[in-house]
Structure 1
Amino acid sequence: SKAPSAHALLATDLVRAEGPLRLLGLADDFIIERLDGILPSRPLPLPVVDSADAPVWPDRVDPQKYWYAPGWTAVAPSPSDDPATAPFLFSFESSGVTGGAAPAVGLDGDVLFTLRQSVSEATRARLAELGDPPARPVPAGNLSVSLDLPFRDEATGEVRRQLFAAETEQDGETITARVSLLNQWVRLCYGALAYPGFQEEPARLRVAYAYRAYVPVDNDRLELSFGGKIALTEIAAVSGRLPEPVIRPVFDPGRMSFHLPHGELRLDREAPAPRSRVQLASTHLVSAHSLTTPVLTPVATAIARPDLTLAVAATSVLETRYATQSFIRDEPVDALYPCATLGAFYRQVEDGLESAVGCRETLRLGETVHRQYEELPEFRDTRYRAYRSLQQPGRFLVVPSAYRITRFAAAEPPERAYRPAIMIYALLGKEPAEHRYFFRATLEADLPPFARRLLEELLEPLIPHGGKLVLDYPTDPTLQNSEIPASFRWALPSGIDLPEVLQTWDGFQVSLSTGLANAVAVTTLIESSGLTGDVTFTLPDGLSLTSALVLDTVVTGPWEAGGVSVSLSGTTATVTNHTERQMNVFDLAISAGPSPRHLAVDLSVEPGDSVDVPLEQAAEMAYASYEPAGERVPLSRMNVFIEDVTTNVIFVNLLNYANHELVALRVKARLKGTSPEHLVELDEGASASLTLTLPLTTYLDRQVLEYQVGKTFSGREATEETPWMEQDLTEANVISLTWDVID
């Protein structure tokens, strides 16, 4: 979806905000820089922020230059300014009569504000202390402006505030913001702007923006979540040279022995055979606390699969000094334009003519019933419910029936575009029992583009002439209730922790965790019935709205493009399925003018395929209505982001070739159910290691290695091959080749 506004970011759980009036937010988009010499860092000209409250910050590239957070000032007109070009204008016109117990003349209002960038006194003073070095304001990214309006709630008598999003334009250091209002909210706004002291608190414009900066890093607080996981049996590079102390199994190929924390496991090669018999290889365990001349005891002990751990090379990413992070500021600007001196800029439109109203007691209103929306039951659909705004014209609230896992946007780099927004990884504890499996996904409203556009067609007749249609969703910033945040419920099987849910500007990020022992069960649950819950939003006016939350393999999105796109070339529409499932396409909405027409096509499009549809004439825009067909696909076929684990299998050749007239051995190996085969050459009395990279979900499931041994005998040209044999790698990753095994 499109980039969120700064106010939208502040309303999410992804930003930690502080302060009652001026909010300082810190986003969860921490990107560390590496200083390990492998990928040298190239600093960017950004501020280095130790404290977001500081009046200035040094530049990372040139510390003699500085950055500061800009302030904003509301620009008031001069009484002699022309209202048509003035920096402030409040205009309204009558529009019917409101319903309810106390009917009143309906009003449509529009307020224009102008703000200008400024430098705070604290910043000026600090720069003067530093000798007035070069300094510039941080860029105001994701800029947004809202009108923060005080009113007295008729039901409770308490003073409350309501936020109204403004249409914003920026031209250099100047911002223009326009807010449209309805009925009693026009009156409330007039009173708050035109009369000093009209409410206990003034009306305010809230200017929010984001900027990127460097922050110093505390390495002790970093934890690597995704990547760098290994489950390798260590192999000594030099025979007899072992780590001190030995804390996990180490294989010494020169001595054919495994060194353990509490002992040594030796693999004895097959002895030369007397003429009467062949002595098979054996395994002996030597205690680490034994005498100088140890007593060897045959045992049947297998070397267990190595524990999951973090590769030493991966820990270098944690050795860093700086990271970049987004900061969000929300600056309040008092808004007061007294009608006693600026009455010419409060204007009423009647029969197309404007006239100044100045100070009009009958217009101002300080108290109202706080009600934001009313449902439009005639537009209720299985996918959503629609509500009309009672505060601003042309605005509607869409409440999705469900939020589902979405996809990365089509505009993302090719390696991410259209992929399901799922990440599966492991966090490692100090002990294997503390390892945790994480399934993390981004959820968005299950409203494909075609469903939203059909709704927009239905709502168009309800928009005032010359107005603009705006669709709000329950996660939008003006709908957040600071006193009653969204609440969640889940239907959870035993062994799975309560999901962690973070609300974003357009959906949710859900993190599901469990111990590694239950990881396969979680994967199976997601792939079968799925995990369901719900979210209840309580709007500032008290209205409660509920939507389902679904974690399964039925994926929606991406928001802007949808999983099935339509491209146009002349009189041909190309329908492309970007998903991993077959899609049934019912019709195309074709637009060559103001209104689209619908063309029935009834196509079945395979994953990744495209189908051309001829058109009667060229079109400017087209979109498809569709739904998935066939069975759900498993996560392994969905191209999701699953952390890889590097593991190894050690083949140990314990055969005495002369005993069997052998010349050579080689091993072919593959994971069961996969096609790639790996060839391992084995010399007599030697070992060889096969390194495998597996998705975490495969690593945690039962991994079966299939292997086949090729035997070359003296005097024979053909190589004899054993049948394919199996080794469960969840039990052990060492395979000893003896005559019993390969005969």
Structure 2
Amino acid sequence: MSIVTVRRAAFSLVVLLSRTPAPHERIGSLILSATLAVELHCTLDRLARTSFRVGDAEAVTDGPFGTAALAASLTGPAAGDLVAALAGSGTGPLLRVAARRVDGLTREWELPLAEVLAGGVDDVSAHVRLVTADGGMVTDVPPVVAGRTRDLATTGGTLMLRDGALRPVASLVRPHPAVLTTLVASESLLLVPLAPVVGGPILDGSPLLGDRDGTSRWYLPELTLVVPPPGQDPDTSPFRYDLVTVGHQDDGSPGLEATVTVTLAAGPSAATTAAWEAAGRPALKPLPCTPTVGLRIPFRDAQGRAASEVIPATGTVLDGVLGEDGSTLTAMFVLQDRWARLAYGVLSYPGYQAQAPALEVGLTHSGWRESRRFQIDPALIAGNKLLALRRGDDATRAVAPTQVLGMAKARIQLHPPVLQAQPLGVTQWRQVTATTAASMPTVLPCADHGQLYRQQGAAGWEAIGCQDTLRLGQADHRVWQPEPVATAGATVFRSLTQPGRYLVVPAAYAVGRHPADDLDRALRPTLLLTSTIDVDDPSGIRCVLAAALQADLTPARWAMLGAELRAKAGRDVVLQTPWQAALTPTVSWAIPGADDLDCVAVDDGFTLVMSTDIPGLLTLRAMLQRGGFLGSARWQLPGGDVAVATLRLDLGTVVGPAEGPVAVTRTVDEARLTNLLDSRVAVRRLTADGTVVASPGLVLEAHGSATVALPAGTVGELAVDHEVEAGSETLDESRSYIDDLELAVTFVATGDLTQVAGIEISCTLLGDVPAPLTLTRSVRQGERRFLMPLTHYAEDPTLRFTATAVAADGTRTAAPAVDWPVRSRGVLIPIDTPTPA
């Protein structure tokens, strides 16, 4: 049994993709981030303390049970590696486990996270959820399956046709795209062109990598710390610790800023060189890699517990092509106050802490991996097109004709980048982005390199050497500290690890607006109501609400925060959102009647997708327009501080768009303000680079304009601090054009038709007036189809029809118009023959 297990199959993984695949594109290379929640259990006995760490996220538990809930946010390649590993390709990120027994014995392990997660559940896919940021949109990504819409509903995805493509339900609410690409495999294929082989390195873990073209050879660079010789000149040294004093801290001690510079040499590893020699010294080149570097600083907190913090590099400089002979990578880290002292202690004194400081280096690279091999029925191949292809674990099932027809009607075409024909079938390759991580202990004793530890004094740089005054090894494990600000609308925290960095948590998030340049949905609320329907069982209708929430913080206030903090810090500052700081919130909502609710933090706010049944539909719509629903997001910061934001789902409170609803056109000494909304907008202030330059106090009518004078010499980007008049926007309800969602009404002549030439039936439903149909003795049954918002069908819409008997001589006898509720009375309508009164 593993030393770590997943408790009660309790794990969930929410994967954010950067966009939805296009109709002619394979699902792949799109992972932006992954949010993991898992309850882990250490199976060892006599435990006193256990910690679990993934990346920068850590969960610690004291006592004998060894169980803790870990929440981790992985971004970029690390997220892609985890998804790939869960799919059976590679090992992915590592789970670091540290355990201490009651007798004081301490051990640490590194386990493949994917193996731990997969070992605790029967079906990994049931615990993984995909959401997509597509052209400013976020939605669940349903499995690519064909069939009736009830099948889609049961798999957690809802599709609708818009702009000529079948799209997931919430793909119409998120206003801004995210930009980052890695790769992930597709699940099903249809109408797939067989593409030629594309070259590129094959990532199979070998020290000497092959290429798909069969000719090239590649290697993954190995990085090593460059240690300067004793007596090295600090100005040219590959390592340096530079300390300056900046003001004073609250206790009167000097404020410190330290810049740590380290240099890494890159080249082929010994294993690569040996494999290259054995292969006859073929032409060899390094894999193109994107490096990331962090400095892990260990310390003991105020309670005497061992901990560590990874400080990301402030900047990196690459000399040469990474991996070629002579290439180097230089990384700089800027730290302040107690973290500057801690860094000095652990870097300069061996054994200063139980754990040595280390450089955490990641090399992100791309290549190809063999995904799976398919057996193909030749009957499914026509020309150079593959008509249908099942998953490898589903290859024995026949492809139903309804699958092909249904997908073709929806105009879906998904295909991978490469399909290479093989004698026994088709090998599917997938392009992946992987990250190789390495940890390098980094200790350069001050006894040997005292001149490289230096402090700026009145006469210039002076060597620190080994000084006890800086040996302060105890600190609060706090990364952020509350920072009071005068600008309203947000809570601000100052970074304790890096100077000039601030965390900004908006006080509230609300339904946003699509950008003004969105041709289809300009300035519409990022809110959509749609439904799925089971035509065999109308009681199975599901109503799905998708919404994107944006920060209720105007661009002007964001700029004012930056200006205020710059003045405080006396330097340029960096403002980060919780998303940018890799903080994961706990979200809660008070929405009665929601059967299934998911609220996911994304780069510009939150995306919410919830479903309800027919009884909850009308209440939901009424509440959205009369008060809405409230929720909250809570971020727990290291060290105990908490940030909280209000979440509001309400058509009466709509914010945005992100660039603001007031367009600004500037001349030399005045600004022309134009309200883009259908509501009135109050303009409080006008700012230039965060400084208030005008307080007009004017109200712009809907689509109205006004001119505001600017002080002479005004420079900088203008922004408007505004308030939109409270109102109630309209809810965007979808019209679905999927085959199963059409309402087919059938008229059947049940009366005597021997005395008439036929019965003409005209009908109308929700404003749709199709052409009349005629029933005769030979054609006693006719049908009319209607397309409608399914939410209207849920309200039992009324079909109005009139039957008119037409005699052989043309005489017409019309019966009174009939109102027919189609949901309660059904779609089969008997027609009696009208007779004269």
For the superposition of Structure 1 and Structure 2, which TM-score range results when normalised by the shorter chain? Answer: 0.5 to 0.7
Tell me, in whole angstroms, the C-alpha distance in 2 between the residues paired with 1:191 and 1:422.
53
User: 2:261 — aligned with what?
Assistant: 112
- Match of 1:353? 460
1:705–1:729 contact (8 Å) kept in structure 2: no
Distance 1:125 1:597 in 2: 68
Q: Which 5+ residue runs of structure 1 have no aligned equivalent?
A: 221-308
State the 1:740 CA deviation.
5.2
Partners of 2:752 and 2:330 in 1: CA distance: 87
Question: Aligned ranges for residues 166-565 of structure 1 at < 5 Å?
Answer: 166-169=313-316, 171=318, 173=322, 175-208=329-362, 331-351=438-458, 353-379=460-486, 381=488, 383-406=489-512, 437-464=543-570, 467-477=571-581, 480=583, 486-493=585-592, 495-497=593-595, 499-504=597-602, 507-515=605-613, 518-553=616-651, 554-559=653-658, 561-565=659-663
Cα distance in structure 2, aligned partners of 1:602 and 1:693: 46
Instruction: Find the residue that maps to 1:739 and give its secondary structure.
Output: coil
SS at match of 1:185: helix
2:94 pairs, out of 11, 14, 19, with 19
Q: Which residue of 2 aligns with 1:598?
A: 694
* Matching of residues 583-662 of structure 1 within 5 Å: 583-587=680-684, 589=686, 591=688, 595=691, 597-598=693-694, 600=696, 602-604=698-700, 606=702, 611=705, 613=707, 621-636=717-732, 646-652=741-747, 654=749
Is the contact between residue 181 and residue 392 of structure 1 (CA under 8 Å) also seen in structure 2? Answer: yes
Aligned mates of 2:556, 2:499 — CA distance in 1: 24
SS of aligned partner of 1:202: coil
Distance 1:90 1:5 in 2: 37
Take 1:161 and 1:498, find their aligned partners in 2: how far apart are those partners? 39
Matched, 1:94 2:252: no
Query: CA shift at 1:76, angstroms?
Result: 4.6
Partners of 2:705 and 2:624 lie apart in 1 by 31
Opposite residue 400 of structure 1, the aligned amino acid is P
* Residue type at the aligned position of 1:375: P
- 8 Å Cα contact 2:335-2:499 kept in structure 1: yes
1:352-409 deviation per Cα after TM superposition (whole angstroms, max 9, x unaligned)? 822332333322322123344443445373x222233343322223232223344567
* Contact kept in structure 2, 1:651 and 1:737, CA below 8 Å: no
The separation in 1 between residues aligned to 2:247 and 2:607, in whole angstroms, is 44
CA drift of 1:624 comes to 2.0
Question: Using the alignment, how far apart are the partners of 1:329 and 1:131 within structure 2?
Answer: 27
1:678 aligned residue (742, 766, 770): 770
Q: CA deviation at 1:612?
A: 7.0
**CA radius of gyration, larger in:** 1
What 5-or-longer segments of structure 2 have no aligned partner? Answer: 1-15, 19-29, 36-54, 56-71, 83-91, 97-109, 115-127, 133-183, 323-327, 375-404, 417-427
Distance in 2, matches of 1:35 and 1:322, equals: 13
Q: Is the 8 A contact 1:644 1:694 kept in 2?
A: no
Structure 1 residue aligned with 2:421: none
Q: Indicate which of 146, 151, 162 corresponds to 2:309.
A: 162
Give the letter for the 1:112 counterpart.
T
CA distance in 1, matches of 2:486, 2:832: 74
Structure 2: distance between partners of 1:219 and 1:315:
26
Cα RMSD after superposing both structures:
5.2
CA deviation vs aligned residue, 1:414-452 (integer Å, no higher than 9, x gap)? 567866555666689999677765444444443232221
| Pair 13,340 (structure 1): closer, same or farther in 2 beyond 3 Å | closer
For residue 368 of structure 1, give the secondary structure of its aligned residue in structure 2: coil
Distance 1:425 1:571 in 2: 49
Whole-angstrom CA distance in 2 between matches of 1:731 and 1:326: 56
Superposition TM-score, scaled by structure 1 size: 0.68
Q: Deviations over 1:549-606 (max 9, x none)?
A: 33333344455x2454545577785656667x62514056354x89562352734364
**The residue matched to 2:340 in structure 1 has which SS?**
helix
Note if contact 1:408-1:417 (Cα within 8 Å) is conserved in structure 2: yes
Report what 1:293 is aligned to.
none
Aligned CA distance change for structure 1 residues 594 and 540 (closer, same or farther; 3 Å): closer
Residue type at the aligned position of 1:363 = L
Q: Which residue of 2 aligns with 1:667?
A: 762
Q: Which has the higher contact order (CA 8 A, sep 6+)?
A: 1
Return the alpha-carbon distance in structure 2 between the equivalents of residues 25 and 678 of structure 1: 59
Distance 2:735 2:479 in 1: 40
1:492 to 1:380, Cα distance in 2 relative to 1, 3 A: same
Distance 1:219 1:341, change over 3 A: same
**Residues 226-281 of structure 1: CA distance to partner in whole angstroms, max 9, x if unpaired?**
xxxxxxxxxxxxxxxxxxxxxxxxxxxxxxxxxxxxxxxxxxxxxxxxxxxxxxxx
Tell me, yes or no, if structure 1 residue 733 matches structure 2 residue 827. Answer: yes
Q: Tell me how far apart the structure 2 counterparts of residues 586 and 670 of structure 1 sit (CA, whole Å).
A: 45
8 Å Cα contact 1:398-1:472 kept in structure 2: yes
Partner of 2:169: none
- Check 1:441–1:364 CA distance in 2 against 1; reply closer, same or farther (3 A cut): farther
Please state whether the residue corresponding to 2:635 is helix, strand or coil. strand
* Correspondences of 1:569-580 after superposition (within 5 Å): none
Q: Is the 8 A contact 2:681 2:700 kept in 1?
A: yes
Check whether the contact 1:147–1:206 (CA below 8 A) recurs between aligned residues. yes
Q: Is the 8 A contact 1:568 1:621 kept in 2?
A: no
* 2: CA distance, partners of 1:634 / 1:159: 55
Change (3 A) 1:352 1:440: farther
Structure 1 427/640 Cα, relative in aligned 2: closer, same or farther at 3 Å?
A: closer
Instruction: Provide the aligned length of Structure 1 versus Structure 2.
Output: 630
CA distance in 2, matches of 1:735, 1:41: 52
Structure 2 counterpart SS, 1:631: coil
- Please give the per-residue CA displacement for 1:527-547, whole angstroms capped at 9, x wherever unaligned: 443332323322221223322
Q: State the Cα distance separating 1:187 from its structure 2 match.
A: 0.5
Q: CA offset at residue 183 of structure 1?
A: 1.4
Could you list the per-position Cα deviations for residues 140-183 of structure 1 after superposition, in whole angstroms to 9, with x for gaps in the alignment?
A: 56x65433221111x21111112333333464536554332221
Shift of 1:99: 2.7
Structure 1 partner of 2:124: none
Q: Letter of the aligned partner of 2:258 in structure 1? A: G
Distance 1:76 1:649, change over 3 A: same
User: Which residue of 2 is the match for residue 301 of structure 1?
Assistant: none
SS of structure 2 residue aligned to 1:379? coil
2:294 and 2:434 mapped to 1: Cα distance?
Answer: 19
Measure the CA separation in 2 of the matches of 1:71 and 1:641.
Answer: 54
Contact 2:191–2:414, Cα closer than 8 Å, also in 1 = no
Give the drift of 1:19: 0.7
497 and 741 in structure 1: CA distance in 2 versus 1, 3 angstrom threshold: farther
Q: Is the 8 A contact 1:13 1:502 kept in 2?
A: no
